[in-house]
Amino acid sequence: MSFEFDVITLFPEMFHAVTQHGVTGKANNHSIFQLTTWNPREFTKNKHRTVDDSPYGGGPGMVMLAQPLEDAIVSAKNRQIGAGISAPQVAYLSPQGQQLDHNLVVQLSKLPGLILLCGRYEGIDERLITRHVDMEISIGDYVISGGELAAMVLIDSMVRQMPGTLGDPDSADQDSFVSGLLDFPHYTRPTVYQECKVPEVLLSGHHANINRWRLQQSLGRTWQRRPDLLALKIAQGISKEEEKLLEEFKQSCTAGLKLGTRK
Ligand SMILES: C[S@@+](CC[C@H](N)C(=O)[O-])C[C@H]1O[C@@H](n2cnc3c(N)ncnc32)[C@H](O)[C@@H]1O
């Protein structure tokens, strides 16, 4: 059964970026997910088909009207119910929402479907949010002009977690955050590029040593770049081997060495 995305958006054509290109385009072709868009403009009841109005209380910008959004959401919910989803969930992409991270992506990708609400202008009439939104999701502490890009970030990250999306299922497991660490560095041909050599161990064909080096690089990078993540990982418990690899990495940094790199 494919994952059902229904997206409420004033710019449906923007979603070709996820339905027609790259990994997500392929997943869409293979029916791993289905994406249906609903344009609130099609649900307006005024002759100019306006979807926004000025804010009560004054101030700059416009606010999205509740009625066209409500009618679009009801249509999306009915479609999802028709597709066998008994309790469709509505997520509003908003800078005020819960910040998206790997755990939330995994949790959401286990649902049968999701209705994504994309705001524009200054935002959406609060009464629509109170009546219909089950969760608010932010892609970070900054403001972008509309919910579409945020929705596409969410869709892409969720689709990567769905079985069958990635050719090699192990590649998702190796990604940053999955094991609580950042990914190790990657190299490809040639073995020497602009006088920089590929770490020798990667050319050795010795898989145990390669895995050990990669784990050490993941631990080391997380220590250098995301000490908050490493602290969490350590609190959850790391093995003696991981402790040793991390210690070795730290010492090599103090000594100014880059582990496994040819000089
Ligand atoms: C210009 S923003 C409105 C921002 C709003 N006035 C505020 O400060 O909270 C328009 C729309 O972009 C989307 N948006 C902006 N920043 C976002 C973020 N960090 N994460 C998710 N959606 C965002 C939301 O859908 C929002 O309704």
pLDDT in tens, 165-182: 998 877 888 899 999 999
- Residues designated catalytic: 95, 122, 160, 175
pLDDT in tens, 7-29: 999 999 999 999 999 999 999 99
The residue whose CB lies within 8 Å of the most ligand 1 atoms, and thus the one to mutate among 9, 93, 142, is 93
Q: d(Cα 159, Cα 23) in Å, to the nearest integer?
A: 9
The 10 Å Cβ neighbour count of residue 118 is: 27
Closest to 50 (Cα-Cα) out of 61, 40, 37, 36? 40
**What domains does the chain contain, in order, with CATH numbers?**
3-161 (3.40.1280.10), 176-254 (1.10.1270.20)
Calculate mean pLDDT across residues 108-134. Answer: 98
Q: Determine whether the shortest distance from the Cβ of 68 to ligand 1 is under 6 A.
A: no
pLDDT in tens, 184-222: 999 999 999 999 999 999 999 999 999 999 999 999 999
Closest to 154 (Cα-Cα) out of 93, 203, 215, 69? 93
Calculate mean pLDDT across residues 77-96. Answer: 98
The residue whose CB lies within 8 Å of the most ligand 1 atoms, and thus the one to mutate among 94, 136, 138, 148, is 94
Residue nearest to atom 16 of ligand 1 (CA): 143
Residue 96 has pLDDT above 50, yes or no: yes
Both tokens assigned to 190: 């040639």
Instruction: Using pLDDT thresholds of 50, 70 and 90, give the confidence band for residue 263.
Output: very low
Q: What Rg, from alpha-carbon coordinates, does the chain have?
A: 23
Calculate mean pLDDT across residues 96-114. Answer: 98
Q: pLDDT: is 171 or 107 the higher one?
A: 107
Helix H, strand E, coil C: the string for 28-64 is HHCCCEEEEEECHHHHCCCCCCCCEECCCCCCCCCEE
pLDDT in tens, 28-49: 999 999 999 999 999 999 999 9
Q: pLDDT: is 254 or 243 the higher one?
A: 243
Q: d(Cα 86, Cα 83) in Å, to the nearest integer?
A: 9
Give alpha helix (H) positions in 162-260: 170-174, 207-225, 227-236, 240-254
Instruction: Using pLDDT thresholds of 50, 70 and 90, give the confidence band for residue 260.
Output: low
> Is-contact 113 80, C-beta < 8 A?
yes
Question: What's the confidence (pLDDT) of residue 35?
Answer: 98
Instruction: Using pLDDT thresholds of 50, 70 and 90, give the confidence band for residue 262.
Output: very low
Question: What's the confidence (pLDDT) of residue 261?
Answer: 53
Question: What's the confidence (pLDDT) of residue 167?
Answer: 85
Mean pLDDT of all residues belonging to the chain:
96
Calculate mean pLDDT across residues 215-235. Answer: 98
Contacts of 5 by beta carbon, 8 Å cutoff, 6+ apart = 33, 34, 35, 36, 113, 114, 115, 116, 155
Q: Tell the residue number behind the tokens 């929402």, with chain if given.
A: 97
Instruction: Using pLDDT thresholds of 50, 70 and 90, give the confidence band for residue 259.
Output: low
Instruction: Using pLDDT thresholds of 50, 70 and 90, give the confidence band for residue 248.
Output: very high
Both tokens assigned to 81: 């119910």
Closest to 133 (Cα-Cα) out of 142, 141, 124? 124
Q: Determine whether the shortest distance from the Cβ of 52 to ligand 1 is under 6 A.
A: no
